[in-house]
């Protein structure tokens, strides 16, 4: 290392970074030894269960928790919403009971005397006219550029269509909640959170205690997807119940409540008019979209409409519907999947109208994107992996039998970047390394990535690095959201590890009389000009009796991390036009991600995103029932998710020329989950000849669309 | 227009025949051994044929060890394992027999422990996921899941590991397609099916002759 | 789940005795995959749960009267390994569709026949008929999975059993014991199911204190059978519609036919007209499609489930073609 600048090693010189590395906590997770918040069983732990509203809209008319207190095993009761409270959706929390056993808590909840003044609900998330008639809309404004009407009049082809994506929920397999225990005036909360360093205050404030007296622990979290940034009212209630009972309490939401109130992805329905010239170049976009995020009445942001492609003339409006449905939360790539779906399905329909191969149509319009330099090569790679040109056929020419094949594609964009974080890197005199960071591994492989960066910087095996995360008592790290974690953790770790290495190299230089700036670390040794000077262990031994500690911060003005990715996806499906069942045949994802730290977990992220994409494209949705005002399918049998046999062949390819490596680390969690909706919908249209406008593409929707086309 | 079968003949109006009476020619081909009745533990349990609603002291044989727990009859095997024995590898996710996160082996067969009563399982051998990775060794299934990264958040993973273990015991040498068909009883939200499938296929290949 | 006693009888007689105490407020536990869900939802709140898994006679599988008798404890996984069941293809089609090793290990054939409806109104405590304030919640609400046939009365759920259509197509029978200590009768499976008129009625003829001990399937050596289930997922899922057929074919012409649809009505739905139409005809794409049309000609879909008519039609057509096709493969 000639110069001591904080940077990644030159392209192609890493040992672990960019390699296939198994996650370091794999055996503990796979064998059930990893402890999640829902698994904490400290002695005397009580179990809390919830009373929730069974109505879409109601007022608490009567509430008496005294009978519950007399039930066997009950130690504490908490009221969320007392008499007179307005309840705005099914599942809203009313009271919680903590008892010796969960079975007792469940029965005690039933002993609570409660009655409701039931009011008229509105849950029809796609009925804009009805919402307007009832005054339940919130216009989000209009935004214009160019002259849309003139462009439409001059266009070669104009397509008008209706599209939509219904509300879906996060469905974290570990529900939201915590295990809370008091030690004197100190609260220890095992919280299932994506925000280890940022939630202490959310307990301290409502509880009236000092933030320094709150410990947040979360070494393992069973899914978050954007819904677990907060302590939430049930977290604070858990701490209160524990205080009242003088015992630890575990309060995790039951499955139905988890689905109803712990977050969802807003719906978006759109009327779109899109136009192009004779060449197939987009000239105008005119859209009106609406949807709901619950009683707040939000929908997908205007700013991402149209998505990726920005024609010279556009007009867009959005309206939020005030529905008695659960509140939304950030759901993996907020706004993008819905906007991608209604934009790129409309474009695909316009391509079909022009009798153009959608691939050619998208390609023709790449200069309307801000990242043509990424999309163009990624499209080529994807097309090769899908064998697009050989397989493509005009819309509806999917074969003679009832099972029709079809192809579709779509593309996405995401920012990423790095969140603010600090780490402590500790090098022990025996050469072992520890890292400390108040971060969390939501399944993305954060822990493993931290270990890889430290190990590669010191030139030691991954097993020599002990990675500590999961408590707010470590140096702070940002929440795992927006695909900012990998950049957020790898920057500070690289920086601190390099600075520690340089200090040790100074000691080596003095001891072995070699120039300090000639030294580098690799394969467990310190090297100078191609010669091994000493072992890493010998070098670390020069530190003295106590560990060397270095703090690292990020992001800084360095080249360690970056932002902005593209990504192209293609789907091949088989549609049974007699049953409306869509089967995935194959999906290809080509993704640029900058510098790859762990190829294995990075690939898993993309695979997971594709599968989650298949889920919201084909099977999952929140069903809000007009008769009862409830989310009628709030269980895992009726909230349908794909199973292992439903995913087809998945191909993940990273677009990674040297230029990508040189961009530094970029987050990957969100981008690949965006395009599947449009890609799969386009493939279904290509297969069966009819646009099925609303996701998910269930047998009902496919058959209804086919029947509508015949009529 | 077809008729509702119910209206074809009223209650009590249909022909009844007691086959047992006239079944002298019946050949007993009992393909399935009456193992349960023969088991000593079960025999002991039968001494007490009706257990009251109150907590019962029962012995569960878990991972080769007899463990005593005191639970009401209504307590599920999942809750007894998780809350009384601190074996939290079986996860509480759907509590509804659809997601597979609570899968354990009972007498070698993979079952949803959320829809088994603990008291029902006395006299049976219960195997939980924790036994697949301990000081004495690591089961090839766990190794295969790590190799193929068949996990992300890891919450569904132990249940999937047990489903694969049980499936491969029952279907040694299963094909990729067999694995796809047999393992549809587990749900993963992060989307790890690709790795799980590869891990299952690897494991199936390594099991010879069953267990 | 309310507290309950747990009983473990060793004989059928003992089971009946245990079931009849507490005024018959008892429940039968075998595989448990449905009962435990019903208990958790308070849809069943017995004073006692009777675990029948230690009754040796219920494990039996034996040849009887030319057919086969299958005990209530025989699991789906075991069915696939029994030489005596190998010819009951329609049954094995269903087992194959249960894409979950756990359900195959624990679930039993008899348990499936006794499944309570999966109607979301029922499961959430609105009663079997889901009537509230004199109105049908099903009619007013989300009825995408509800009945398209036999839905003129208050009950609009669909029968949950996956095996019943196959069994009824073969004229299978079930053996019911109790409530009197020595009472035992064989009931045609077709008449085992009833459509409740009120929430006080059940969806089978089973009375408190009774228990289904065995299923008998007749000799099927001269018939060809198949079940076709429309399953959205390639995994654990309920069929959106299904059809089972049993055909006797000689000289290329259908001699006799039984067609039964599942998940389309509150009971398994016998499509007698469609079956009669098939008799005397060859089986081909056209006749099978015609039979499918006839099977659903009387359908009365409600606001959201028109698509199920098409699904049932297709299930019938495909079950016929599958049954008539070569026994191997397909």
Binned at pLDDT 50, 70 and 90, residue A43 comes out as very high
| pLDDT for the residue numbered C326 | 65
* Residue B43, pLDDT above cutoff 60: no
Please report the pLDDT score of residue B48 as a whole number: 73
With 70 as the cut, is the pLDDT of residue C330 above it? no
Which chain B residues have a beta carbon less than 8 Å from that of A609?
191
Q: How far is A161 from chain C (nearest CA, A)?
A: 22
- Pick from A38, A41, A644: CB nearest B193: A644
Q: What is the pLDDT of residues C160-194, one digit of tens each?
A: 999 999 999 999 999 999 999 899 999 999 999 99
pLDDT at A702 over 70: yes
Question: Percent of chain C at pLDDT above 90?
Answer: 96
Could you give the angle at which helices B157-170 and B193-206 cross, rounded to 10 degrees? 30
CA-wise closest residue to A267 among A410, A123, A415, A53: A123
Cross-chain residue pair A103–B75, CB shorter than 8 Å: yes
Chain segment C43-60, per-residue pLDDT in tens = 999 999 999 999 999 999
pLDDT for residue A113: 98
Q: Which pLDDT score is estimated for C84? A: 96
**Which chain C residue's Cα is nearest to A626?**
C141
Hey, are the CB atoms on C81 and B31 less than 8 Å from each other? yes
**Region of A278 on the Ramachandran plot (φ > 0 left; ψ -120 to 50 alpha; else beta):** alpha
CB A150 within 8 Å of CB A286:
no
Tens digit of each residue's pLDDT (9 = 90 or more) over C8-21: 999 999 999 999 99
pLDDT at residue C329 above 80? no
Q: Kindly state whether A608 is in contact with chain B, defined as any CB-CB distance less than 8 angstroms.
A: yes
Q: What's the pLDDT band for B42 if we cut at 50, 70, 90? A: very low
**Contact residues, chain C, for A107 at CB < 8 Å:** 1-3
- Do the Cβ atoms of B74 and C186 come within 8 Å? no
Tens digits of per-residue pLDDT, A388-431? Answer: 999 999 999 988 999 999 999 999 999 989 999 999 999 999 99
Q: What does the pLDDT average to over B39-57?
A: 72
Contact C103 B97 (CB under 8 A): yes
pLDDT in tens, B127-159: 999 999 999 999 999 999 999 999 999 999 999
Q: Contact B180/C234, CB-based, under 8 Å?
A: yes
Q: Does residue B21 belong to the interface with chain C, where contact is any CB pair within 8 Å?
A: no
Q: Which residue has the tokens 């020595």?
A: C182
A-chain residues within 8 Å CB-CB of B145?
26, 30
Q: What average pLDDT does this structure show over A488-514? A: 98
Of A656-665, B26-35, C85-94, which range is least confident?
B26-35
Mutate to test the interface with C, among B5, B102, B170 (most CBs of C within 10 A): B5
Cis before residue A555, ω within 30 degrees of 0? yes
Give the pLDDT confidence of A557-574 residue by residue, as tens digits.
Answer: 889 999 999 999 999 999
pTM of the model: 0.95
> Which candidate, A505, A452, A488, places its Cα nearest to that of A563?
A488
Q: Is the peptide bond before C179 cis (omega within 30 degrees of 0)?
A: yes
Q: Is residue B45 over pLDDT 60?
A: no
What's the pLDDT band for B210 if we cut at 50, 70, 90? very low
Among the listed residues A584, C329, C76, the one whose alpha carbon sits nearest the alpha carbon of residue B182: C76
Give one DSSP letter per residue of A526-557, joined into a string: EEETTEEEEEHHHHHHTT-SS-EEEEEEE--S
- Determine, for residues A645 and B130 on separate chains, whether the beta-carbon distance falls below 8 Å: no
φ, ψ of residue C101 to 5 degrees: the values are -60, -30
Q: How far is C289 from chain B (nearest CA, A)?
A: 17
d(CA A636, CA B5): 33
Name the 3-class secondary structure at C183: coil
Phi/psi at A564 (5° precision): 80, 105
ipTM comes to 0.97
The pLDDT, as a whole number, for residue B35 is 46
Beta bridge partners of A635: none
Q: Which residues of B touch C233 (CB under 8 A)?
A: 184
pLDDT tens digits for range C31-41? 999 999 999 99
Assess whether pLDDT exceeds 90 at residue B206: no
In angstroms, how far is CA C253 from the centroid of its own chain? Answer: 29
Tens digit of each residue's pLDDT (9 = 90 or more) over A138-174 = 999 999 999 999 999 999 999 999 999 999 999 999 9
In the prediction, which pLDDT does A284 show? 98
- What integer pLDDT is reported at residue A710 of this predicted model? 87
Using alpha carbons, list the distances in angstroms from residue B166 to A17, A362, B108: 36, 47, 7
Best of A625, A627, A701 to disrupt the C interface (most C CBs within 10 Å) is A627
Helix (H, G, I), strand (E, B) or coil at A516: helix
Q: Which of residues 55-114 of B touch A (CB under 8 A)?
A: 72, 74-75, 79, 82-83, 86-96, 98-99, 101
Euclidean distance between CA atoms A555 and A438, whole angstroms: 16
Q: Which residues of chain A does B157 touch, with a Cβ-Cβ cutoff of 8 Å?
A: 29-30
The tens digit of pLDDT for each residue in A289-339 reads 999 999 999 999 999 999 999 999 999 999 999 999 999 999 999 999 999
Q: Which of residues 249-308 of A touch B (CB under 8 A)?
A: 254-255
- Give the CA-trace dihedral at A607, A613, A618, A622, to 10 degrees: 130
Sheet bearing C184-188, strands edge to edge: C61-64, C67-71, C211-217, C173-177, C184-188
Residue of C124, C235, C307 with shortest CB distance to A643: C235
- Using a CB-CB distance cutoff of 8 angstroms, which residues of chain A are in contact with residue C39? none
CB of B196 less than 8 A from some CB of A:
yes
Q: For chain B, say whether A602 makes contact (Cβ under 8 Å).
A: no
At A362 the pLDDT is 98
Per-residue pLDDT for B1 more than 90?
no
Contact between C208 and C130 under an 8 Å Cβ cutoff? The reply is no
Identify the residue with better confidence: B10 or A376: A376
CA angle, corner A469, sides to B81 and A609, nearest 5?
75
Of A623, A643, A699, the CB nearest to C240: A699
Q: Which B-chain residues 72-111 have CB contacts (< 8 A) with chain C?
A: 72-74, 76, 95-98, 100, 103, 109-111
Residue C229 distance to chain A (closest CA, Å): 11
Confidence of residue B44 (pLDDT cuts 50, 70, 90): low
Nearest-5° angle of CA C267, CA C270, CA C274? 150
pLDDT band for position A183 (50/70/90)? very high
What pLDDT sits at residue B208?
65
The string of pLDDT tens digits covering residues A227-272 is 999 999 999 999 999 999 999 999 999 999 999 999 999 999 999 9
- Looking at every residue in chain A, the average pLDDT score rounds to 97
SS3 A494: helix
C237, pLDDT greater than 70:
yes
| Confidence at residue B18, expressed as pLDDT on a 0 to 100 scale | 33
pLDDT of res. B38: 41
* Alpha-carbon distance values, C328 to C94, C228, C255, C324 (Å): 16, 16, 22, 11
Does A172 touch chain B if contact means CB atoms closer than 8 Å?
yes
Chain C interface residues facing chain A, Cβ-Cβ under 8 Å?
1-3, 42, 99, 118, 120-121, 123-124, 126, 132, 137-138, 140-142, 144, 230-238, 240, 304-307, 310-311, 314, 317
At residue A62, the pLDDT reads 98
pLDDT > 60? residue C279: yes
Query: Backbone phi, then psi, for A593, in 5-degree steps?
Result: -140, 20
Q: Is A545 exposed, middle or buried (0-12, 13-18, 19+ CB in 10 A)?
A: exposed
Predicted pLDDT at B24? 31
């Amino acid at each position: 290392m000639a110069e001591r600048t904080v940077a990644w090693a030159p392209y192609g010189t890493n040992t672990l970074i960019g390699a296939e590395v198994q996650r370091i906590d794999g055996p503990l997770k796979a064998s059930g030894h990893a402890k999640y918040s829902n698994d904490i069983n400290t002695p005397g732990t009580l179990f809390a269960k919830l009373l929730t509203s069974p109505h879409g809209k109601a007022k608490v008319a009567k509430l008496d928790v005294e009978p519950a207190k007399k039930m066997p095993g009950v130690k504490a009761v908490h009221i969320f919403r007392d008499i007179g409270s307005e309840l705005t959706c099914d599942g809203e929390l009313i009271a919680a009971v903590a008892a010796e056993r969960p079975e007792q808590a469940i029965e005690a909840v039933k002993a609570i005397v409660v009655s409701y003044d039931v009011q008229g609900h509105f849950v029809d998330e796609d009925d804009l006219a009805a919402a307007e008639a009832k005054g339940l809309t919130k216009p989000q404004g209009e935004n214009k550029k160019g002259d849309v009407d003139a462009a439409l009049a001059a266009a070669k082809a104009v397509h008008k269509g209706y599209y939509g994506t219904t509300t879906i929920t996060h469905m974290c397999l570990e529900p939201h909640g915590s295990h809370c225990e008091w030690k004197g005036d100190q609260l220890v909360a095992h919280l299932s959170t994506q925000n280890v360093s940022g939630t202490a205050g959310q307990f301290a404030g409502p509880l009236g205690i000092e933030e320094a007296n709150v410990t947040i622990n979360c070494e393992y979290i069973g899914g978050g997807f954007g819904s677990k940034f907060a302590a939430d009212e049930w977290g604070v209630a858990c701490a209160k119940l524990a205080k009242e009972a003088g015992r630890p309490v575990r309060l995790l939401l039951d499955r139905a409540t988890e689905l109803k109130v712990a977050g969802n992805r807003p719906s978006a329905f759109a009327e779109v008019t899109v136009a192009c010239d004779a060449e197939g170049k987009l000239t105008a976009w005119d859209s009106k979209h609406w949807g709901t995020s619950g009683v707040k009445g939000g929908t997908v942001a205007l700013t991402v409409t149209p998505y990726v492609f920005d024609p010279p003339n556009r007009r867009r409006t959005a309206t939020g519907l005030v529905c008695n449905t659960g509140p939304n939360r950030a759901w993996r790539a907020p706004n993008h999947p819905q906007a991608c779906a209604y934009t790129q399905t409309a474009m695909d329909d316009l391509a079909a109208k022009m009798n153009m191969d959608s691939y050619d149509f998208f390609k023709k319009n790449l200069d309307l994107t801000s990242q043509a330099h990424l999309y163009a090569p990624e499209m080529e790679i994807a097309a090769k992996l899908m064998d697009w040109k050989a397989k493509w056929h005009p819309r509806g020419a999917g074969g003679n039998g009832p099972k029709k094949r079809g192809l579709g594609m779509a593309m996405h964009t995401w920012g990423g970047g790095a969140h603010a974080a600090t780490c402590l890197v500790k090098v022990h005199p025996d050469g072992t390394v520890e890292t400390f960071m108040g971060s969390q591994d939501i399944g993305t492989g954060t822990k493993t990535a931290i270990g890889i960066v430290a190990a590669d910087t010191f030139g030691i095996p991954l097993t020599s690095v002990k990675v500590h995360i999961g408590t707010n008592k470590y140096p702070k790290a940002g929440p795992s959201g927006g695909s900012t974690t990998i950049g957020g953790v790898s920057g500070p770790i690289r920086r601190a590890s390099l600075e520690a290495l340089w200090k040790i190299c100074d000691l080596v230089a003095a001891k072995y009389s070699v120039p300090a700036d000639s030294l580098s670390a690799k394969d467990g040794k310190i090297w100078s000009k191609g010669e091994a000077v000493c072992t890493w262990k010998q070098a670390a031994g020069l530190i003295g009796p106590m560990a060397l500690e270095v703090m690292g911060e990020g992001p800084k003005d360095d080249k360690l991390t970056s932002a902005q990715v593209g990504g192209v996806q293609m789907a091949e499906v088989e549609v049974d036009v007699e049953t409306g069942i869509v089967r995935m045949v194959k999906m290809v994802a080509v993704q640029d991600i900058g510098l790859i730290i762990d190829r294995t977990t990075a690939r898993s992220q993309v695979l997971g995103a594709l599968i989650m994409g298949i889920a919201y494209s084909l099977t999952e949705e929140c069903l809000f029932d007009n008769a009862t005002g409830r989310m009628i399918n709030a269980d895992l049998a009726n909230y349908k998710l794909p199973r292992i046999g439903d995913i087809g062949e998945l191909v993940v390819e990273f677009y990674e020329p040297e230029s990508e490596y040189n961009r530094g680390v970029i987050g990957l969690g969100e981008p690949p989950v965006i395009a599947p909706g449009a890609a799969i919908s386009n493939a279904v249209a290509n297969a069966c000849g009819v646009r099925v406008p609303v996701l998910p593409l269930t047998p009902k929707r496919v058959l209804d669309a086919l029947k509508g086309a015949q009529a | 227009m077809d008729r509702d079968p119910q209206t074809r003949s009223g209650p009590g109006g249909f022909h009844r025949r007691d086959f047992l009476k006239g079944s002298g020619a019946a050949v007993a081909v009992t393909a399935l051994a009456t193992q349960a009745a023969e088991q000593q533990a079960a025999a002991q349990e039968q001494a007490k044929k009706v257990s009251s609603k109150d907590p019962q002291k029962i012995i569960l044989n878990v991972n080769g060890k007899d463990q005593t727990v005191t639970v009401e009859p209504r307590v599920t095997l999942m809750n007894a394992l998780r809350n009384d024995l601190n074996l939290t590898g079986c996860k509480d996710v759907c509590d509804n027999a659809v997601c597979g996160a609570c899968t354990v082996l009972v007498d070698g067969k993979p079952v949803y422990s959320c829809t088994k009563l603990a008291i029902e399982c006395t006299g049976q051998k219960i195997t939980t996921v924790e036994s697949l990775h301990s000081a004495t060794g690591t089961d090839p299934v766990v190794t295969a899941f790590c190799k193929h990264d068949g996990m992300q958040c890891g919450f569904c993973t132990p249940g999937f590991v047990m489903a694969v273990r049980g499936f491969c015991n029952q279907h040694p040498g299963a094909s990729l397609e067999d694995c796809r068909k047999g393992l549809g009883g587990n749900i993963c939200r992060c989307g790890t099916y690709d790795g799980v499938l590869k891990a299952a296929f690897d494991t199936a290949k390594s099991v010879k002759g069953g267990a | 789940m309310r507290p309950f006693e747990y009983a473990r009888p060793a004989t059928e007689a003992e089971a009946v005795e245990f079931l009849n105490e507490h005024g018959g407020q008892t429940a039968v536990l075998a595989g448990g995959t449905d009962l435990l869900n019903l208990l958790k939802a308070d849809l069943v709140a017995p004073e006692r749960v009777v675990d029948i898994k230690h009754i040796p006679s219920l494990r039996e599988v034996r040849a009887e009267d030319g057919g086969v008798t299958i005990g209530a404890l025989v699991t789906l996984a075991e069915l696939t390994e029994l030489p005596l069941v190998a010819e009951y293809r329609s049954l094995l089609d269903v087992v194959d569709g249960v894409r979950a090793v756990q359900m195959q290990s624990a679930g039993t054939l008899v348990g499936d026949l006794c499944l309570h409806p999966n109607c979301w109104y029922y499961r959430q405590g609105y009663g079997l008929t889901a009537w509230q304030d004199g109105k049908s919640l099903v009619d007013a609400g989300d009825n995408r999975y509800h009945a398209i046939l036999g839905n003129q009365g208050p009950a609009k759920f669909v029968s949950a059993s996956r095996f019943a259509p196959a069994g009824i197509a073969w004229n299978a029978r079930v053996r019911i014991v109790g409530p009197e200590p020595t009472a035992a009768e064989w009931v045609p499976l077709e008449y085992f199911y009833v459509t409740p008129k009120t929430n006080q009625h059940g969806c089978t003829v089973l009375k408190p204190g009774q228990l289904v001990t065995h299923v008998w399937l007749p000799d099927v050596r001269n018939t060809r059978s198949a079940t076709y289930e429309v399953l959205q997922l390639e995994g654990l899922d309920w069929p959106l519609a299904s059809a089972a057929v049993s055909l006797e074919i000689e000289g290329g012409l259908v001699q006799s036919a039984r067609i039964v649809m599942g998940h389309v009505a509150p009971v398994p739905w016998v499509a007698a007209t469609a079956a009669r139409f098939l008799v005397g005809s060859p089986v081909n794409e056209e006749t099978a499609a015609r039979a499918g049309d006839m099977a659903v000609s009387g359908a009365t879909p409600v606001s959201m489930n028109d698509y199920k008519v098409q699904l049932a039609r297709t299930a019938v057509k495909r079950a016929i073609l599958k049954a008539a096709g070569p026994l191997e493969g397909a």
